[in-house]
Amino acid sequence: MKDVFFINPAAGQGKGIDELKERIYSEAESLSRRAEIFMTNSVGDGERAARRMAEELAGEEGRFYACGGDGTANEIINGIHGFDSVSLGIIPIGTGNDTVRNFTGRTDFMDIRAQMTSEAESIDLMKYDGIIDGRRQVRYAVNMFNIGFDCNVVELAGRLKQKPMIKGSFAYLMAVLGMFIQKKGTALKITSEGEVIRDGEMLLCAVANGSYCGGGVCSAPQAKMNDGFFDLSIINDVSRTTFLRLFPKYQKGTHFQTKGVDRIIEAKAMKEVTLEPRKAEDFFLCADGEIALCRKVTITAEPAALRFIVPKKSC
C-alpha cells in the first residue's frame, strides 16, 4: 500500500498547508504507514506526477489523495485513469469543492485517518474527446461540464477571486450578477447517436455526473455518480425577470418542482453526447471548474471507472 498526498499550495490561499502536512504524517505514523507528500508547482504537474507514480506501482495498491479544489482532483483523476489498483481520495482545501458535496451527510473528507482507513467505492467518470486547448486530447471529468452562462460565470468568478475580500461562493454569486447584466449564453449543435437534440441559441448547457457546481449550486439534483449515465441539461434563453425568479430555486436544487419549468429546462439522462459550436470555431468548456477552449467535443459516460474513497467519520 502506498499513500501519496498531492497538495496544491495555492488552494485556499495557502492557509493551513503546514498543519495539513503535520496531520498527514501524524496519522500515517499512528497507522504504521508511510505517507508521501507531493507539492504541485504548476498546471498539469499533479497529473504528470500521479501517472508516473501509478506506473511505478506496477499493480501494487495505492491511494492518491488530491488536496486542493476540484481542479486538483481533476488532474489526479487524469493521471491515474486506467490504473485499477489506484484509488482517489479528495481532501477539499480549495474554494469550490463541488465533487465532495455529492457525498455530504455520511462523510468527513477533512478527516485524514478516515481517508486512509475507509473503503473505496466505484463511481462513474465522463470521457471527453476532441480538440481541447488547440490539440486533440482524450480527458476525463468526474463532476460536471458547463457551457454558456455557467462557464462564463466561472471564468468571471476566477478573475474576481484575485481581488481582496472576494472569495469562494461570494465570488460566484457576484459573477452571476455580472453575467446577469450581460445575459451571455451560447450557441451549440448538440447531437447524440446521430440525433440532433438542439441546434441554436441557449442560455447554458450542462453535462452532469454530479449535482453541484459553482461552490454549492445544486444545478442537477437528479444526477447520480454511480448510475452509469450523465444528465444533460439545456436551459433556454429567458427574460431577466424569469432568471431572477428561478435562480434561487436553481441554487437550492428545487427548480424542477417549479410549474412550467419544462418549458425552460430540458433535462435528460444520457450516455453519449457531442457538442459543436455554431457561431465560432471554438467554445469555452468548463470541466470540473477548469476552463478549456474546445472545438467539437464528444462526451461519453464511463461507468464505474474510478475507485473513490468515501471516508466514514472516525471517532
CA distance 35 to 26: 9
Q: What is the pTM of this model?
A: 0.91
The C-alpha cell at 162 is: 484575485
Q: Give the pLDDT confidence of 71-85 residue by residue, as tens digits.
A: 999 999 999 999 999
> In this predicted model, which residue has the larger pLDDT, 307 or 155?
307
pLDDT at 22: 97
pLDDT the model gives residue 169: 66
pLDDT at 166: 73
Residue-level pLDDT at 239:
87
Residues 6+ apart with CB under 8 A from 232: 190, 197, 205, 206, 207, 208, 266, 267, 268, 269, 270, 273
Residue with cell 483523476: 77
CB 53 within 8 A of CB 45: no
Torsion of CA 7, 11, 13, 17, to 10 degrees: -30
Contacts (Cβ under 8 Å, ≥6 apart) of 60: 1, 2, 85
In order, the DSSP letters of 76-127 are: HHHHHTT-TTEEEEEEE-SS--HHHHTTTTS--TT-HHHHHHSPEEEEEEEE
3-state secondary structure of 32: coil
Burial of residue 160 (number of CB atoms within 10 Å: 0-12, 13-18, 19+): middle
Q: Higher model confidence: residue 104 or residue 23?
A: 23
pLDDT of residue 289: 87
pLDDT confidence of residue 206:
96
In the chain, the percentage of residues whose pLDDT exceeds 90 is 74
CATH number of this structure's domain 2-94: 3.40.50.10330
Query: Tell me, what's the pLDDT at 187?
Result: 92
- Report the C-alpha gap between 14 and 175 in whole angstroms: 23
Per-domain residue ranges of the chain? 2-94, 128-304
**In whole numbers, what is the pLDDT of the chain averaged over residues?**
91
Cell numbers that stand for 197 in this block: 437534440
User: Is residue 221 pLDDT above 80, yes or no?
Assistant: yes
Instruction: Please give the CATH topology (third level) of the domain spanning 128-304.
Output: Tumour Suppressor Smad4 (2.60.200)
Residue-wise pLDDT tens digits, 136-173: 999 999 999 999 887 877 777 777 777 776 766 677 77
Does this chain's domain 2-94 share its CATH topology with 128-304?
A: no
